[in-house]
Structure 1
Amino acid sequence: MEIVYMWLRSNKTNFEDSDEFGMKNQGCNFGGRFRFNYDFEKKVIEIKENPIWQDDFFVLPSEDQHFNSLARITNVTAVVGENGTGKTSLLNYMKRNLVYGRELERPEAIFIFFDHIKGKYYIYHHANILIKDIIRSANCNIDISEPLQTYQNSKINGKFPKGIPLLKDNTFIFFSNAFDSKDWEEQKKNLRNISTNYLFRESTNSIGLQEITMHRFQEVKRQIEFIRFFPDYAGKYFSSFDNLLNRLPKELIIHFHSHDFNSDLKHSDFIIEFMENFERDLSINYDEKDLYFMNYLTKILVRHFITELVYYIAKPHFNDNLRTQIISIVFEDYYNSNEKDPYKKFEEWLENIAFGAHLAINNVIKNLAHAVLRFKKSLAVIIKEEQVEIKGRVIKLNISNAMHIIDELMWPYNHSTIQNEFMTMDWRNLSSGEKALLNLYSRFFYLAKLDSDNRKKANSPHQLCNNLTILVDEGELYFHPQWQKELIYNLLNFLPYAFRSEQIRRIQIIITSNSPFILSDLPSTNVIFLQRKRNESQVLDGLEEQPQTFAANIHSLLSNSFFIKDGLISSFAKEKVNKVIDLLINESSQVIKENNDIITKTIDMIGEPVIKNKLMNMYQDKLALDYIHMESRLEERIAELQEQMDTLVKLNKLKKGN
């Protein structure tokens, strides 16, 4: 089912967004063949043809020899408006109220769907919203299923209905790169959530590892899978992906780092002395890079183990006597060892802690020692088998075996980290914008691959429906304008391939955006314009009110009040320019002379030629006017002096005559 229209009595729900900007008695058209309007006063639905609609408008020509297996993009809609008008709230409303399977009290609304297989439109409305009639415009040939279907908020057998039955075969996919700690994000059978907020919250482990660590690991694994599998097909059949393939990283870099030991325990001096002695025992041979690296890594692991141990036993449920007992046992095991080789001595020490019978050493400490030991041994095997390249204090992983190595290291690393991390993974020379781009594609590819791998398994939770409604919240976030300009085009190429299926699969995309580049790829009838009026958000829906967006000049789109009010000049620059204008208009010549340096330098900096020339003309006119006034005053003064001289001459003649 494709969503073609929603009318909301209110977008407020009983969920956590109750403080968000409200939308009351507003309808949203998503850009289909027909445009709908519910007249709240007359209680009728008005329908008219969309004059610029084109069938398969968003289906691009494909070079794929299996073109028929590709999913079809049926529609793309953008939701725009200034911050606070409710763009994200509209997506949240759809996630909460349209996803089938959620037993909840649904707000009063009208939903209109289009079934591409049957060619029918279905109107589904709350029982409290009266629809007296459906008024079609002239020559409006639309097939509407009768009778109209209703829903209400009464419970059946103690439970609310699971949702709109028409949407049983719709999977909603929600993507967002934003991270704002929203804790209500969820995932259901018919809702796949690949937003950063949800994935971050789901990245946990049983011993309390910081979520950011697990999230980063899982994100990298998704990225590796995308980089490994996607180019094989896309590079062969899709020349439009050349730019994307060229941006994909080739190497993963693992950095190791230690933390300064800092503790208020009374044994701190003893512990610091132990670490210094241990590091001194390690012999460093700079001619052998493997040995140099293992020395460096062993120092980090020792310091990490002790730092985590001290952090753990510093907790309130340990008393001083128990802390002293634990520290004595841990370090006596090391000093009592007769092993001379520092590496073997280190491993023997951790084994004794992990598998010893000391009553004071609980399972958390044993598991910590075991995990650190296993991490060290696993990495030593990986290095010995030359699966990685060592560069100083980092190791480089090739994409071909990176997934295997991460899986080998992830368990011991997770269980060896209680508070502090000692390893980070990152792509070489990848900017934040490039990482955001990689996140976008790898998360969708991850879902698509899960679907493909489980397609023949009965009742697999990873299977996707044949109708996909993809909700993208500000997909251009972190992107350079050039990439913003390419986003819609790349999605139209990528998503049909990623979600290809032997059966007919259709995709509807609904994207919120703050970018005019997104709008320039969409007809105005495919844009939901939100604006703030008083304390409500309103939809600007009339064709005569909407700015023309498709292939529009970016400058023209920016100039529209939906993006920028009060002109295109930034506030700080406007303040500076207004100061110059005020000086030139309202101040005296003397004040202008005193501020001459500020005025001329500010005018020279202005990049907009019209403003720059106007201010320069004002400045020159002011100087010219001042010169004219000065010349006039000089002439008056000369006349005064001449008159005085004439008077003196006359007086002098009178004196001589006497």
Structure 2
Amino acid sequence: MKLVYVWIENYDQLIKQQGFNFGSEYIFTYDQKKKILYKEKNPIYIQNFFKLEGKANSIKQVTAIVGRNGAGKTTLLQFLRYASSDLFKFKDSVYFEILMDSNGDLYMYQNLMPEVSTDFVSLKLNRKKRFTLSSVGYLSTVLDRRQYERLQREKNMSTNYLLKTEHNFESEKVKRDLNFIQSIELSKSQLMDKIPIPSAVEVRPVELYELDSEVIESFTYEEKIAQGMLLGYLKKKKANETISSDELLLVNKFLDYAIRSEKRPLEKLDGIQEIELPKKPHFSLEHYITSFKRIKQFIKYIQKYTDKGYFHIDYYRNVMVIDKHILMKSFISKYMNFTKGQYSGVYFHWANLSTGEETMLDIFARIFNSISRNEKSAPIMMMIIDELENNLHPQWQKGILKELISFFSEFYPNLQIQLVITSHSPFLLSDLPGYSTILLNKKDGAIIHNEQNEIIKSTFAGNIHTILKDSFFLEDGLMGEFAKEKVNALYREIITVDRNQKMEVDEISKMIQIIGEPVIRVKLQQLLDEHLQLNLHDEISQLKQKIAKLEAQQGGQFDD
């Protein structure tokens, strides 16, 4: 079932007495005094609006939540996540929902609300039934201080959550990307022409802050990898405790064993048995030796494939380059196996992708690796994406919604998706009809929703400047504040400058020439020309007055 309307009486004192339509064929209105819910046909609703020609109709509904920073977009998203995926999170929140099945029948779920009167609901759902009707996917590439806990029926793909739950975020990210890339290559997907495909991955040792910089400089690439993995292992073991000098000594002993052709077994090296280690479970010398031997095998694996020419080490840049997808995947699997996925010793980085390109690839890869192509967890999935356009160039912002719709239609033809996004991009809004848009604002510290705002009906294929001004609550025009200040100062200079101050006049003329808005540029130039002409007339008048005064003084000896 898809969510078509929600009335929030009180959510954590943040949203109070607000109703939200999500862009269905009906418009719902709740009368608080009478406690009656009304329904009317949406006169401009278009059936299957989000179906692409020749594609499966996977996207059933798309809703964009927009508004200025601090208007409550994230708060509403949090409500939707909890309300659709966790049975216990919302026990104290007061709200009701209207949901619609594939036949168009309507259902109501009430949470601590007084009885709501309506004559069009087929069934009122209990709590347990409500939470079996949908699941939630949550994706955000934003890295902030918010913590995203695991919810019962949610597939959390946010950066915050993945950093918190994955032992090695970088390697898992590259592995996700590779899984997705291989899938679209095998299926010869049209997405290959739309999504950046990296040609090589770079593997870089972690920074060794615990060691002297001169010592680090003397290390080979392989030694730095080994050292980084060893310290990563120790840090994982020690948690927040300081690594002791004895443990660093153990690491250096290992380097003799792993790198510098030491033939004796690690446990037989001079002085190793005298090293004092913490007397705690899993801190014994035997535990360290077992893990160190795995790291030695990994270093030998790197050396073997480098000698064969499969891996290329750039010693000057201190990176190893792998330029075949199958070798990248093999390397990451080996790395995860040797470290048991519990600690890090290297950084992974796509060699030829910008931040925006990585973000574009990562959005699709996260979804692909989180949602099974045979997903059957619920009749419909609500996919919530926070700030979809984050890090994307405006050209990609123009195309991201279309590519998402195409992606879901191609890879999940049997899954029904309700897509809810937040955005600051007018390009995304221009892809949506006005009834698919929720405009949020704040008044006296409270989140408010402009339900009756007629302007939003013109978003689809609309003028970007109009959308920016009307849908994102931009005040005082679309010019940057710095530019506005400079133009106002320029105006003041124009009306006060003296035509004889040539340098000042030249500077003013140059400022006018670089103004991009033609109406403002022409008006200011006209103002300058008129002011300089007035200056000239004033000078002529002043000269005539001086001449007349001199003539009077000299008894009329000067002629005109």
User: Counterpart in 1 of 2:314?
Assistant: 392
1:481 matched to 2:444? no
| 8 A contact 1:169–1:465 mirrored in 2 | yes
| Aligned residue among 31, 42, 49 for 1:50 | 42
1:166 matched to 2:130? yes
| Aligned residue among 487, 491, 495 for 2:404 | 491
Aligned AA (1:644)? Q
CA distance in structure 1 between the aligned counterparts of 2:538 and 2:288, rounded to whole angstroms: 88
1:28 matched to 2:20? yes
Query: Which blocks of at least 5 consecutive residues in structure 2 are unaligned?
Result: none
1:227 matched to 2:181? yes
* 1:111 CA displacement: 0.8
Query: SS of the counterpart of 1:589?
Result: coil
User: Counterpart in 2 of 1:525?
Assistant: 435
User: Counterpart in 2 of 1:573?
Assistant: 483
| 8 A contact 1:171–1:464 mirrored in 2 | yes
Aligned AA (1:122)? Y
Q: 1:50 to 1:519 in 2, by over 3 A?
A: same
1:10 matched to 2:2? no
Query: SS of the counterpart of 2:51?
Result: coil
Query: SS of the counterpart of 1:614?
Result: helix
Residues 287-366 of structure 1 mapped to structure 2, 5 A cutoff: 295-298=220-223, 301=226, 305=230, 343-345=260-262, 348=264, 350=266, 352=268, 360-361=276-277, 363-364=282-283, 366=285
User: Counterpart in 2 of 1:409?
Assistant: 335
Residues 225-304 of structure 1 mapped to structure 2, 5 A cutoff: 225-233=179-187, 235=188, 238-239=189-190, 241-245=191-195, 247-256=196-205, 259=208, 262=211, 295-298=220-223, 301=226
| Aligned residue among 29, 54, 75 for 1:89 | 75
Query: Which blocks of at least 5 consecutive residues in structure 1 are unaligned?
Result: 14-21, 64-69, 135-142, 152-162, 205-213, 264-271, 283-294, 456-462, 650-658
Aligned AA (1:33)? E
| Aligned residue among 551, 555, 559 for 1:642 | 551
Q: 1:352 to 1:62 in 2, by over 3 A?
A: farther
CA distance in structure 2 between the aligned counterparts of 1:447 and 1:318, rounded to whole angstroms: 37
CA distance in structure 2 between the aligned counterparts of 1:175 and 1:7, rounded to whole angstroms: 24
* 1:518 CA displacement: 0.8
Q: Deviations over 1:571-601 (max 9, x none)?
A: 111111111112334x363897674354223
Query: SS of the counterpart of 1:514?
Result: coil
Q: 1:200 to 1:187 in 2, by over 3 A?
A: farther
| 8 A contact 2:48–2:57 mirrored in 1 | no
* 1:74 CA displacement: 0.9
* 1:552 CA displacement: 0.5
| 8 A contact 1:127–1:150 mirrored in 2 | no
Residues 78-227 of structure 1 mapped to structure 2, 5 A cutoff: 78-102=64-88, 104-116=90-102, 118-126=103-111, 128-132=113-117, 144-145=121-122, 149=124, 163=127, 165-188=129-152, 190-204=153-167, 214-227=168-181
| 8 A contact 2:204–2:346 mirrored in 1 | yes
* 1:609 CA displacement: 1.1
* TM-score relative to the length of structure 1: 0.74
| 8 A contact 2:85–2:151 mirrored in 1 | no
Q: Point out the more displaced range, 372-381 or 357-366.
A: 357-366
| 8 A contact 1:114–1:122 mirrored in 2 | yes
Root mean square deviation, CA, Å: 3.7
Aligned AA (1:626)? N
CA distance in structure 1 between the aligned counterparts of 2:243 and 2:487, rounded to whole angstroms: 65
CA distance in structure 1 between the aligned counterparts of 2:435 and 2:7, rounded to whole angstroms: 16
* 1:110 CA displacement: 2.1
| 8 A contact 1:525–1:543 mirrored in 2 | no
Q: 1:395 to 1:621 in 2, by over 3 A?
A: same
* 1:391 CA displacement: 3.9
1:470 matched to 2:393? no
User: Counterpart in 2 of 1:448?
Assistant: 371
CA distance in structure 2 between the aligned counterparts of 1:194 and 1:128, rounded to whole angstroms: 32
CA distance in structure 2 between the aligned counterparts of 1:333 and 1:427, rounded to whole angstroms: 31
Bigger radius of gyration? 1
CA distance in structure 2 between the aligned counterparts of 1:432 and 1:330, rounded to whole angstroms: 35
CA distance in structure 2 between the aligned counterparts of 1:435 and 1:494, rounded to whole angstroms: 17
User: Counterpart in 2 of 1:160?
Assistant: none
CA distance in structure 2 between the aligned counterparts of 1:249 and 1:316, rounded to whole angstroms: 39
Quick one: percent identity of the two aligned structures? 27
1:39 matched to 2:31? yes
| 8 A contact 1:35–1:47 mirrored in 2 | yes
Query: SS of the counterpart of 1:56?
Result: coil
Query: SS of the counterpart of 1:35?
Result: strand
CA distance in structure 2 between the aligned counterparts of 1:222 and 1:86, rounded to whole angstroms: 32
Q: Point out the more displaced range, 179-188 or 565-574.
A: 179-188
Aligned AA (1:478)? N
CA distance in structure 1 between the aligned counterparts of 2:224 and 2:497, rounded to whole angstroms: 73
CA distance in structure 1 between the aligned counterparts of 2:82 and 2:464, rounded to whole angstroms: 34
Q: Deviations over 1:606-645 (max 9, x none)?
A: 1111111111111111111111111111112222222233
* TM-score relative to the length of structure 2: 0.86
User: Counterpart in 2 of 1:514?
Assistant: 424
| Aligned residue among 516, 521, 526 for 1:617 | 526
CA distance in structure 1 between the aligned counterparts of 2:132 and 2:388, rounded to whole angstroms: 27
CA distance in structure 2 between the aligned counterparts of 1:329 and 1:540, rounded to whole angstroms: 65
| 8 A contact 1:514–1:563 mirrored in 2 | no
CA distance in structure 2 between the aligned counterparts of 1:304 and 1:150, rounded to whole angstroms: 53
